[in-house]
Amino acid sequence: DAGVIQSPRHEVTEMGQEVTLRCKPISGHNSLFWYRQTMMRGLELLIYFNNNVPIDDSGMPEDRFSAKMPNASFSTLKIQPSEPRDSAVYFCASRTGGDGYTFGSGTRLTVV
Amino acid sequence: GNSVTQMEGPVTLSEEAFLTINCTYTATGYPSLFWYVQYPGEGLQLLLKATKADDKGSNKGFEATYRKETTSFHLEKGSVQVSDSAVYFCALSSGSARQLTFGSGTQLTVLP
C-alpha cells in the first residue's frame, strides 16, 4: 500500500494564477479530508468527502477555493485566483470508518 | 464546539530526559483522543490513541492516559532520543463524522 499520495510536493506560483492540488486516497477508504497547515492557524479542516460526496465545506476560506472528488481514487483542491496568504502546506487524509486516518506528505504551496 | 489546547512550545531537552507535553480538550459526547507526530517535511503519523476514559495509549516508549475527570491526555516519555525531535499534535475526534480537531502543535528538539 503506497499510502495517501499527494502531488505536487512543492508548488510555487504567482499571485492570480490557478493552482490545483491532487490527492489519491488509500484504496478502500471511503472518507477523504483536506487540511491546511500554517504557522498562524495550525491545522484547519477545509472540507471532507464521504463516498465521494462533499459533506462539510464550512472550513473552505473563500469562494476562490473549490474541491472535487470525481471518483473514489482521486480528489482535487483548486484555488483560483491564488493569493500570497494562501501559502501553506495542504494535507490530504483518508479514512475507512472509525478513527483510522492516514495522511499524505502534503503539498507546500508558495504564492508570490 | 470541540477544541484542543496544547502546551506551548518549543520544548528543548537533552537526550535521556523525561518528556511531558500537556494536552486538554473540550468536546461533546465521548471523544477519541490521539497524539500525532510530524517529522520535518513529512505528513502526520499516528503515534498513539485512546478511545475511552482511563485507556492508556502507548507506542515507541510514549504514553498518554485518557483522563475524563480532568479532560486531559498528556504525552509522556521516560527517556527521549535525538530521533524524537519533531512536532507533536494532540487531537480528538467525536460526533458521527469523527472529524479530527487538532491542537496547535508542540515543537520538540532533543539535543545530544
| Model confidence pLDDT, tens digit, residues A60-109 | 988 999 999 999 999 999 999 999 999 999 999 999 877 778 999 999 99
Q: How far is B104 from chain A (nearest CA, A)?
A: 5
Q: Which of A11-20, A49-58, B6-15, B99-108 has the highest mean pLDDT?
A: A11-20
Show residues of chain B in contact with A56, CB under 8 Å.
97, 99
Show residues of chain A in contact with B51, CB under 8 Å.
99
Q: What are the φ and ψ backbone dihedral angles of B54, each rounded to 5 degrees?
A: 75, -5
Cβ within 8 Å, pair B32-A91: no
State the Cα angle at B7 between B1 and B11, rounded to 5°.
150
- Is the predicted pLDDT of residue B27 greater than 70, yes or no? yes
Q: Rounded to an integer, what distance in angstroms lies between the CA atom of residue A72 and that of residue A29?
A: 8
SS3 B38: strand
Question: Where residue A1 falls among pLDDT bands split at 50, 70, 90?
Answer: low
Distance from chain centroid for Cα A83: 17
In contact, B102 and B54? CB cutoff 8 Å = no
Comparing C-alpha atoms, which of A94, A89, A102 is closest to residue A8?
Answer: A89
Give me A86's grid cell.
Answer: 494562501
Percent of chain A with pLDDT over 90: 84
